[in-house]
């Protein structure tokens, strides 16, 4: 993308990396559900892998990818990813679950281990997105 100004190029790469992280997050959550892991943990989250479920997660993953543009203390992508993954996890647990989904603070109506599952898959988003962003920048 040599024709793009540097900031727009970084923004496009951050969105793409975030969307890739969203795909990883979604596939991980789906696999945990279909594999019975969430049920074994007592968490009522087992999504079906459909376009209607996946598409918004890719878009939101891309939007969250904007966080990759923030200067952070660590240059190690996996450390940055772990830190960045806390943001969407916090929104899911303290805004989406209680107010939009009406599943209580931290989604506890879905099971006591819900916060752990949400944190795990969002940390995976952050790590995949940060590693992808670094790889995209180095191409």
First to last CA, the chain: 11
Going through the chain in order, the beta strands assigned E by DSSP cover none
pLDDT for residue 75: 75
Q: Which residue has the tokens 């949400």?
A: 118
CA distance 72 to 120: 21
- Convert the pLDDT of each residue in 107-137 to its tens digit: 999 999 999 999 999 999 999 999 999 999 9
For 23-80, the pLDDT digits (tens) are 999 999 999 999 999 999 999 999 999 999 999 999 999 999 999 998 876 678 888 8
Residue with tokens 């209680």: 98
């Amino acid at each position: 993308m040599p024709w793009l100004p540097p900031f727009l190029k970084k923004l496009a790469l951050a969105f793409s990396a975030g969307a890739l992280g969203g795909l990883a997050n979604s596939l991980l959550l789906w696999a945990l559900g279909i594999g019975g892991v969430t049920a074994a943990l007592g968490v009522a989250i087992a999504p079906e892998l459909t376009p209607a479920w996946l598409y918004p997660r890719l878009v939101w993953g891309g939007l969250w990818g904007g966080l990759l543009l923030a200067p952070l203390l660590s240059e190690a992508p996996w450390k940055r990813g772990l830190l960045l993954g806390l943001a969407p996890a916090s929104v899911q647990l303290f805004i989406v679950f209680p107010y939009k989904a009406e599943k209580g603070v931290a989604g506890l109506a879905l099971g006591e281990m819900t916060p752990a599952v949400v944190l795990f898959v969002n940390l995976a988003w952050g790590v995949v997105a940060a590693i992808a962003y670094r790889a995209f920048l180095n191409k």
